[in-house]
Amino acid sequence: MGLTAAAPIDPTAAITRALVVRAQNGDAAAFGELLEDHYDLIHRTAWKWCGNRTDAEDIAQDVCVKLGSAIAGFDGRSAFSSWVYRITLNAVRDMQRASSRRGKYASAFAEVSPEDHPADQEEAATNNQLWAAVRQLPEKQRDAVLLVYAEELSHAAAADIMGIKEATVSFHVHEARKTLRGLL
């Protein structure tokens, strides 16, 4: 009878799972550690989706508050970071809907400092134009592009976050490329 090797255990995932369980049981220190571990992910994701630092900070704070009330509902069927992505994306969409109802539009351009080297300013402006165009894509295409290219996730990981099949993510990315060619 042959022995089969056990799947390797990811120590980071095990630590996160333990922190989640403790946080679900009311351990404020464990919840604080989870927030600390995931805050950069939340803020970076919000900034890439809305393109505005102030809005990203507001969204990140909002997500942290939402996580406090939602952590009890995390069931572990997906990675904790995937769950946090989904909450962050929903918060971005909520903010964008609220802004459009008020008639406000977030600036699509990040700050360019006058002391930056001209080549750096040009690259920043080009990147800002690209991400501004990405933010104009239909929702599913925009989400797929941002997850795959901005967050550098695999199509499978993006599919998990979006709650769709991997092939559908690939389709959305393909369609987004065609649309971006026309926009740019």
Q: What are the extents of the domains in the chain?
A: 10-105, 116-184
Q: What is the structure's pLDDT at 119?
A: 54
On the 0-12 / 13-18 / 19+ scale of CB atoms within 10 A, 157 is buried
Distance from C-alpha of 58 to C-alpha of 88, rounded to nearest angstrom:
11
* Spatial CB neighbours of 68, under 8 Å, sequence gap ≥ 6: 31
Q: What percent of the chain has pLDDT over 70?
A: 78
Q: What is the structure's pLDDT at 109?
A: 42
Q: What is the structure's pLDDT at 117?
A: 54
Q: What is the structure's pLDDT at 78?
A: 86
CATH architecture of 116-184: Orthogonal Bundle (1.10)
* Spatial CB neighbours of 63, under 8 Å, sequence gap ≥ 6: 42, 46, 84, 87, 88, 91
Q: What is the structure's pLDDT at 146?
A: 83
Terminal CA-to-CA distance of the chain, rounded, Å? 61
CA angle (20, 22, 24) in 5-degree steps: 65
Distance from C-alpha of 184 to C-alpha of 25, rounded to nearest angstrom:
50
| CATH value of 10-105 in 1.10.1740.10, 3.40.50.300, 2.10.109.10, 3.20.20.140 | 1.10.1740.10
> Between residues 113 and 125, which one has the greater pLDDT?
125
Distance from C-alpha of 136 to C-alpha of 183, rounded to nearest angstrom:
9
Rg of the chain over CA atoms, in angstroms?
A: 19
Instruction: Please write the tens of the pLDDT for every residue from 46-93.
Output: 988 887 889 999 999 999 999 999 999 999 888 898 899 999 988 988
